Structure 1
Amino acid sequence: MIKKYSRIFIYLLKLRLSREMVYSFNFLTTLFVDGTFFVIQMLAFTAIFLNVDTVNGWNKFHMIIFIGTFTILDGLYMATYFFGVLSISEKIRNGELDIYITKPVNTLFLISFENINIGSIPIVVPGIIMVAYGTVKLGIEISAMKILGYIVLLFIMYIIMYNLMVLLRCCSFWFTKVDNINNLENELVNFSFRVPGIMYRGIGKVIFYFILPYGLIATIPTEFFTGTMNITGWIISISVCIVFTLLRRLIWKRGLKRYSSASS
């Protein structure tokens, strides 16, 4: 199964790469837009730490690792499934989903990864540089286990983001207009980039860690890498990932059944 879908992913990647080379302007535009967003966010955090030394125990170098972590994740999901998942609502509305359902491949997988965007891959590089810079400044001792744990947490957050994106698009199976939901998602992602999870307390932490777990995305990997996370962070991350993966599978299957019934 893994081998089969790995081959499909590589095929989609090659196909998309050939398209991007033909339309190189689109590639450069995407790179410019993503790069501009990264610079703006970096300047915003720099301005904050001109006036304060720490924010809930994090200094500016913790925040640099946080920004770098978010940037790595942003580059990864923008480069792989973002644009594919983004198209789900439109495919449901215009009936184009019918084409994908008839193919001998998992429908959601095919839609998710058919619009790979290589223009976002270079954004990962400054993210890695920022994490490395913050690591040096904080004097963090690097080990193979620390790097492996960080990568595993990045992968977990990558899956959580995927689940959240798909779940929101599944609303299109039941509702015609979902533009407001898409706008809400953009605001939540931007908010989670501006406000690390360490700043949430009480009901806010419950909401942004368990109900709309955007607060986990870059915070948990940063806490692990800087040595400020305990076993609870692992339990929360894995549990949220499993629950939202199961929920996404359930809602997607029910949505497809509803769509198929309506089509027939």
Structure 2
Amino acid sequence: MTDLRTNADHRQPLDRHWLAKQRRHLRLWRRFLAQAVVRETHYRAHFFTTLLVGLVQLGLGIVPILLLFGFTQEVHGWSRAEVITLVGAYQIITGLMAAFVAPNLQRMTAYITEGELDSVLLRPVSSQFYLTLRWIDIAELSNVASGIVVLVIGLVQSGVSPNPLDVLQALVLAACGSVLLATVWSAMSFLAFWLQSVNPIGAIYLNLVEAGRYPLVFFPVAVRTFLTFAFPVAFATTFPVQALAGDLGWTPVAGGIALAVVAVTLVRMLWRRGLRSYASASS
């Protein structure tokens, strides 16, 4: 009994320390967000330029869909309205990635090769947290807003009225998909520990993510497998839209959660492995 109490007493300080650490990271991220808002108010033209570019990209994504469905009512079981809903979901996910992930991972090569990582390692905060969440591009959230509008229009046109469970499934799948895409991009960026530049790899990532504009069934079986497990963009776009339509069960949701946990763990291990091989670029 004494041993059990001792173990419990030992765990409690550790739990309190972990919670305190997470609260510190959350406060730090709120500061990052506040700084991003302040920066955006100083450069208002950047917001409107980003909004304009995002609308043009959204239009370019919808035009091929309108052309395709000008000759048919349905493709592989997907109607025009459902694919437009998918385009809206894609716009939301890519907007979130551009706002919170891209500004950081696009700097990863400079952090590692130019010695900026040295100063980060001296901070009393997780270096991975700092380098992957430090910068936020508030203007990109305008693309999230336009994506929500398109998604709602698609749902209305398709006559879909998702119930709360369908919405919950879609939100969980979209969150898992976002985490999976972020971890894949992070893994590619962390290769900067061993490569002189990972910018070409980042370009490959951006090209691959374009597949999320289209339903998974539009691709051959081998490509579907790749887009589900190796480059899991399906969890970010196709699966959430299917969930909103009530065409998806809880098995893909559980699979998405499991994959996200595994991916985060593996990326954390890759980061630690990279730090062990890191030689200060400033020394």
Helix, strand or coil at the partner of 2:37: helix
Taking structure 2 as the reference length, the TM-score comes to 0.86
The yes-or-no answer on 1:105 pairing with 2:125 is: yes
> Of residues 210, 215, 239 in structure 1, which corresponds to 2:258?
239
The Cα of 1:18 is off from its aligned counterpart by 1.1
| Paired position in structure 1 for 2:99 | 79
Q: Matched residues in 1 for 2:153 and 2:55: separation?
A: 19
Is the CA contact (8 Å cut-off) linking 1:81 and 1:112 kept in structure 2? yes
Is the CA contact (8 Å cut-off) linking 1:173 and 1:259 kept in structure 2? yes
| Paired position in structure 2 for 1:125 | 145
| Paired position in structure 1 for 2:238 | 219
Q: Percent identical across equivalent pairs?
A: 25
- Comparing 11-20 with 30-39, which one deviates more in the overlay? 30-39
The Cα of 1:117 is off from its aligned counterpart by 0.6
Residue 188 of structure 1 aligns with an amino acid whose one-letter code is L
The yes-or-no answer on 1:22 pairing with 2:42 is: yes
Is the CA contact (8 Å cut-off) linking 1:89 and 1:172 kept in structure 2? yes
Helix, strand or coil at the partner of 1:142: coil
Structure 1 residues 20, 170: CA separation in 2 closer, same or farther (over 3 Å shift)? same
Is the CA contact (8 Å cut-off) linking 2:170 and 2:239 kept in structure 1? no
Is the CA contact (8 Å cut-off) linking 1:197 and 1:216 kept in structure 2? no
Q: Which runs of 5+ in 2 are unaligned?
A: 1-18
Residue 85 of structure 2 aligns with an amino acid whose one-letter code is I
What is the alpha-carbon root mean square deviation over aligned residues? 2.0
Q: Per-residue displacement from partner, 1:44-66 (whole Å, max 9, x unpaired)?
A: 22222112221211111110111
Q: Matched residues in 1 for 2:198 and 2:31: separation?
A: 31
| Paired position in structure 1 for 2:30 | 10
The yes-or-no answer on 1:134 pairing with 2:147 is: no
The Cα of 1:262 is off from its aligned counterpart by 7.7
Residue 113 of structure 1 aligns with an amino acid whose one-letter code is L
Is the CA contact (8 Å cut-off) linking 2:106 and 2:199 kept in structure 1? no
Which one has the largest radius of gyration?
A: 2
Is the CA contact (8 Å cut-off) linking 1:198 and 1:219 kept in structure 2? no
Q: Matched residues in 2 for 1:43 and 1:192: separation?
A: 16
The yes-or-no answer on 1:192 pairing with 2:209 is: no
Q: Per-residue displacement from partner, 1:55-95 (whole Å, max 9, x unpaired)?
A: 21111111011111111112222222221122112211111
The Cα of 1:26 is off from its aligned counterpart by 2.6
Q: Matched residues in 2 for 1:184 and 1:142: separation?
A: 35
Structure 1 residues 215, 152: CA separation in 2 closer, same or farther (over 3 Å shift)? closer
Residue 245 of structure 1 aligns with an amino acid whose one-letter code is V
- Comparing 142-151 with 9-18, which one deviates more in the overlay? 142-151
Q: Per-residue displacement from partner, 1:188-212 (whole Å, max 9, x unpaired)?
A: 012332x322223432222221112
Structure 1 residues 171, 17: CA separation in 2 closer, same or farther (over 3 Å shift)? same
Q: Matched residues in 1 for 2:210 and 2:221: separation?
A: 21
Helix, strand or coil at the partner of 1:252: helix
